[in-house]
Amino acid sequence: MYKVYPEYVNPFIYPMLRSGAYAPMGIASYGVINQSGIITTYTVLTNSIIGFGNITSILAYNTSAPEVGVSPYEASLQLNAMLVVDSNGSLYTYWPQNVLIFFTNQSEVELHDNVLNVTGDNATLTNNSITSPNGYVYNNYYGNYLNAPILPYRTPFAFYLILNESIVEGQGVQITMAIEVLQNGSVLNNPRVYTFDTILIHDPLAEASALVVSGNAYTPVGAHSIIGNYYDAELVFGGGGNGEITTFKQLSAELGLYYYNVTTGSYVPFPSYYSFGADTAEATYNVHVNYLGNGLVTVSTGKLDLMYLSTQSNSFTTTTTTTTQSTSTTTSTTTTTTTQSTSSTTTTTTSSTTETSVSSSTESSSIHSIINSTTSINSTSTSPQASSELGLGIIILLIIIIVAAIVLLRRRH
């Protein structure tokens, strides 16, 4: 197992490997800002991330979907991020996903979740290491397979997906998966947060934990994962499951992606966004994304456009008017969970490697090392975005091919 510490992570690597033909589409934050070709990295540590959705039409169809075990009409909207746990100075990385699985021909939606251990090659989960009354571990994935609620939906269907984490002293790290439905055909007069799964990663030595977005490094990698995954947050549309790639016959929606900032006591936009995810396996061929500002995008059927969306200059001080009313409801419901664990932290590294941060005394120095271990090599690129990121991507791709060849040769011996 090893880690890759690049000048900055390149979100376009996986789309390049897929020839740009398909991707999970929506809104994502990678910890990378591109201002006229000048690349800057940042890191956000938080214990709550929410995804806003307002779907006015959705219909997916893929004739080959049954080959991977899903319905031809299935599609998903996934909120996911990397969870880093400091266990007595050792870092472990997990990937929790809060997923809506839409059966678009039946107007039903399943509340589903998964957790995967991505700490390295030999990382696993067992039914002793992670537990919940709603699920179990299957093929190293935890999922709420015992109790995944299925709800009828009508459009407009508006909601918040909520992903929280917190330390349970002497036991481990608790992950909560929740949804707050704001509109299901008609507006709900008294929307409430519904927590459909509470998961415990058993680790009595866990000292601190955080959901991490960082442009400074990839997750731990090795022979079976040569690049690693991104420390990113994603809210993206794709196929129904098992890596399915679907086509949307109809899709019209708004999406928003935010994190909880303990300093402001509210959910705020990330400093920057891209139109696609990379860690999510499920994908689509034909979704177009348009950035509205303040962490909001519209998605519709159309040409697949993999692009950097925008820099959020006001991301640390304001929330969107679209989400203000429900954010206050969500915050009041989840504050007792989110404020007891690691507080949110935002660190921005510029070309001169200066840092501005908001942190708390409960923050783990080991988790913060994700930032500090790469600060000295966080330089900027002044070339245009396309040539800069494509050039770096080609170099990394060559490295991947060389490493893969070495691994194969070693295995033959």
User: What are the pLDDT digits (tens) for 83-100?
Assistant: 999 999 999 999 999 999
Q: Copy the structure tokens of residue 91.
A: 């870092």
User: What are the pLDDT digits (tens) for 176-198?
Assistant: 999 999 999 999 999 999 999 99
Closest CA to 313 of 327, 291, 294: 294
Domain carrying residue 127: 13-381
Q: 109 with 194: CB under 8 angstroms?
A: no
The dihedral sign for the CA sequence 360, 295, 246, 287? negative
Residue 389 counted as domain residue: no
Rounded to two decimals, the pTM is 0.81
Residue 367 counted as domain residue: yes
The b/e string for 303-316 (b: 16+ C-beta within 10 A; e otherwise) is ebebebbbebeebb
More reliable by pLDDT, 284 or 403 = 284
What confidence tier does 349 reach under pLDDT thresholds 50, 70, 90?
Answer: very low
Q: What pLDDT score does 177 carry?
A: 99
Domains contained in the chain, number: 1
Q: Taking residues 159-179, report their average pLDDT.
A: 99
Spell out the residues 6+ positions from residue 105 whose beta carbon is closer than 8 angstroms to its own.
Answer: 59, 71, 73
More reliable by pLDDT, 366 or 89 = 89
**What's the rounded Cα separation, in Å, for the pair 111 and 159?**
12
Q: What pLDDT score does 18 carry?
A: 76
Residue 287 counted as domain residue: yes
The dihedral sign for the CA sequence 396, 401, 406, 407? positive
Residue 391 counted as domain residue: no
Q: What pLDDT score does 225 carry?
A: 63
Residue 332 counted as domain residue: yes
N-to-C CA span, the chain:
20
Q: Cβ-count burial of 209 within 10 angstroms (0-12 exposed, 13-18 middle, 19+ buried)? A: buried
**What's the rounded Cα separation, in Å, for the pair 246 and 274?**
20
User: What are the pLDDT digits (tens) for 2-35?
Assistant: 555 568 899 998 888 877 799 999 999 999 999 9
* Residue 281 pLDDT greater than 90, yes or no: yes
Average pLDDT, the chain: 81
Residue 314 counted as domain residue: yes
What confidence tier does 356 reach under pLDDT thresholds 50, 70, 90?
Answer: very low
User: What are the pLDDT digits (tens) for 296-344?
Assistant: 999 999 999 999 998 765 433 323 233 333 333 333 333 333 333 334 4
Residue 6 counted as domain residue: no
**What's the rounded Cα separation, in Å, for the pair 386 and 60?**
32
